Amino acid sequence: MLNVCRRTAHTFGHTREGFTRARGRPRVPAKWGPVVRRLAVRAMLPLALLAGVATQLRAEEPRPAATTDFAGLILHLSEDPGKFHSDNFVSNEPGYPSAIEGLRALGIHGGAYIGVGPEQNFSYLAALQPERAFVVDIRRENTVQHLMYKALFAAARNRLEFLELLLSRPPPNAPEGESSRAAMSVQELLTAVDSRGASMKACEQTIDSVSARIEENFGFPLTDKDRVTLRHIHSAFAEAGLSIHYSSPKAVKQEPTLRELMLARDTYGNHVHFLASEKDFQFVKQLHARDRIVPVTGDFAGRQALRKAGEFVRDRGEVVSAFYLSNVEQYLRGAQYAAFVENVRRLPLNDRSVLIRCAFEKPTQRLPGDHSEQADGQFWPHALLLQRAQRFVELYDEGAFLTHEDLARQDYLDWTSGR
């Protein structure tokens, strides 16, 4: 979930352009009109001159080029980045096991995957076993973070080594054997990491090696700002360890930590995090090794990222089996939402393709499509719901979605009827 739960409900009117909301516009008294126009013209002249200088400077600056097909694909698909108010170091959706349980019950498997956000995508990938994946996020920081993850997957032989590198917890002098590491349970994995303190020396060494691997092995040209971002992200993991969580200045409650996300269970009591199983970890590691997880900077309502990713998948005779949306739809208004729907419509889909959507709910009014387990009486104010992608487009065309709540209540898949 890419933002903190907002308690205020918004009502929207449905038009062919999407969800719309009336907005007032301040009026200027008529007698002040000429004055305002003259001041505006005077203010715009120096800004125009500055814009011209900036454009010239940008034109003179050589843009670094990708040196591998993988990096070239990232740059080919990506759009200009946007801004977001939070640090999405990790997911804040501990209900993800419910979605994974549903995907498995419905037999969704293979194909291509599209997602958004940080590490939760790896758990969906381990469950779906797709041929390839695109993680599309409006934040350039997310692209840098996924390149960091790719470097860590390449360096780590197993789950414990991955966490040691990610959290800057160096191994003991006499590390466990390879076989014993592979057999570790989630709790044993957490205990092993919790028993060690962070090493800033290890953190610095990892940052340097990750940067080198991204540029030299992956062929992706990091900018100076990217390097600052990489240091910020990795240092946050080193400092907080397993207690790292989604961070937002608008947060009203403690978000789930990485530790809690790893311990989340489905309704059968199974841990389904990608680090809960060595087999799942190794699948994601191999997908990375084949350059099949492509981070993309892009807007769900943009004209490039999703469309070109869809074309890439279609050209290879594949279909998108699952599109993980999180709660991005909450940020799309009016023509933006219509553009998003059009992007979904253009994807190579079939009648089994699903959307994975995060929706908000209250403890006393759980959504009918929510089958998640709330551990130890803890309530997380959201649900992960599944919907057929083609059905979503059909309902939108019929005008079925008048509010964002309708997205969660009008249509959803119930995979529990056969129990």
Mean per-residue pLDDT of the chain: 82
* Secondary structure string (H, E, C) spanning the chain: CCCCCCCCCCCCEEECCEEECCCCCCCCCHHHHHHHHHHHHHHHHHHHHHHHHHHHHHHHCCCCCCCCHHHHHHHHHCCCCCCCCCECCCCCCCCHHHHHHHHHHCCCCCCEEEECCCCHHHHHHHHHCCCEEEEEECCHHHHHHHHHHHHHHHHCCCHHHHHHHHHCCCCCCCCCCHHHHHCCCHHHHHHHHHCCCCCHHHHHHHHHHHHHHHHHHCCCCCCHHHHHHHHHHHHHHHHHHHHCECECCCCCCCCCEHHHHHHCECCCCCECCCCCCHHHHHHHHHHHHCCCEEEEECCCCCCCHHHHHHHHHHHCCCCEEEEEEECHHHHCCCHHHHHHHHHHHHCCCCCCCEEEEEEECECCECCCCCCCCCHHHCCCCEEEEEEEHHHHHHHHHCCCCCCHHHHHHCCCCCCCCCC
Per-residue confidence at 380, pLDDT binned at 50, 70, 90?
Answer: low
pLDDT band at 411 (very low <50, low <70, confident <90, very high): confident
Looking at mean pLDDT, say which of 6-15, 86-95, 247-256, 368-377 comes out highest: 86-95
Is residue 383, in this structure, part of any structural domain at all?
yes
31, pLDDT greater than 50: no
Considering the domain boundaries, does residue 309 fall inside one?
yes
By C-alpha distance, which of 273, 276, 312, 316 is closest to 122? 273
pLDDT at 371: 56
Q: What percent of the chain has pLDDT over 70?
A: 75
pLDDT tens-digit readout, 18-29:
444 333 444 444
Is the pLDDT score of 404 beyond 80? no
CA distance 404 to 411: 12
Q: Which whole number is the average pLDDT over 46-68?
A: 49
Least confident window among 87-96, 353-362, 372-381, 407-416: 372-381
Q: Domain for residue 51, yes or no?
A: no
Nearest to 271 by CA among 363, 368, 159: 159
pLDDT per position as a tens digit, 302-318: 999 999 999 999 999 99
* 37 domain-assigned: no
Judge contact between 125 and 284, C-beta under 8 A. Answer: yes
Q: Are 372 and 384 in contact (CB under 8 A)?
A: yes
Instruction: Report pLDDT digits (tens) over 160-171.
Output: 999 999 999 988
Range of the domain at 76: 68-409
pLDDT at residue number 56: 37
Could you tell me which residue, 2 or 392, shows the higher pLDDT? 392
Q: Could you give the number of structural domains in the chain?
A: 1
Least-confidence region, from 5-9, 203-207, 356-360: 5-9
pLDDT at 350 over 60: yes
Instruction: Quick: pLDDT tens for 64-74.
Output: 677 899 999 99
Say yes or no to pLDDT of 51 above 90.
no
Of the listed ranges 218-222, 266-270, 402-406, the least confidently predicted one is 402-406
Name, in order, each residue with C-beta under 8 angstroms of 308's C-beta and a sequence gap of 6 or more: 76, 77
Which residues, including other chains, have CB under 8 Å from residue 42's CB and lie 6 or more apart?
none
- Average of per-residue pLDDT across 186-191: 94
Provide the pLDDT for residue 179.
Answer: 62
Name which residue leads in pLDDT, 67 or 339.
339
pLDDT at position 47 is 38
262 or 254: whose pLDDT is higher? 262
What is the C-alpha separation between 227 and 403, in angstroms, rounded?
41
pLDDT, mean of residues 371-381 = 54
- Residue 25 within a domain: no
Strand partners, 265: 271
Say if residue 173's pLDDT is above 80. no
Q: Is residue 367 part of a domain?
A: yes
Would you state the pLDDT for residue 406? Answer: 81
Contact 110, 104 (CB under 8 A): no
Q: Which residue has the higher pLDDT, 404 or 353?
A: 353
Q: d(Cα 170, Cα 84) in Å, to the nearest integer?
A: 33
Residues 122, 284: contact at Cβ < 8 Å? yes
Neighbours of 33 (CB within 10 A): 10
Q: How would you classify the pairing of strands 112-115 and 132-137?
A: parallel
Tell me the mean pLDDT in the region 278-300: 98
Rounded average pLDDT over 45-60: 38
Confidence of residue 32 (pLDDT cuts 50, 70, 90): very low
Q: Does 374 fall in a domain? A: yes
The per-residue pLDDT for range 113-154, each reduced to its tens digit, is: 999 999 999 999 999 999 999 999 999 999 999 999 999 999
Distance from C-alpha of 341 to C-alpha of 193, rounded to nearest angstrom:
43
> What is residue 403's predicted lDDT score, i.e. its pLDDT?
74
Residue 50 in domain: no
Taking a C-beta distance cutoff of 8 angstroms, is the pair 100, 264 a contact? no
Query: Is the predicted pLDDT of residue 333 greater than 60, yes or no?
Result: yes
* Phi–psi pair at 19, nearest 5 degrees: -80, 130
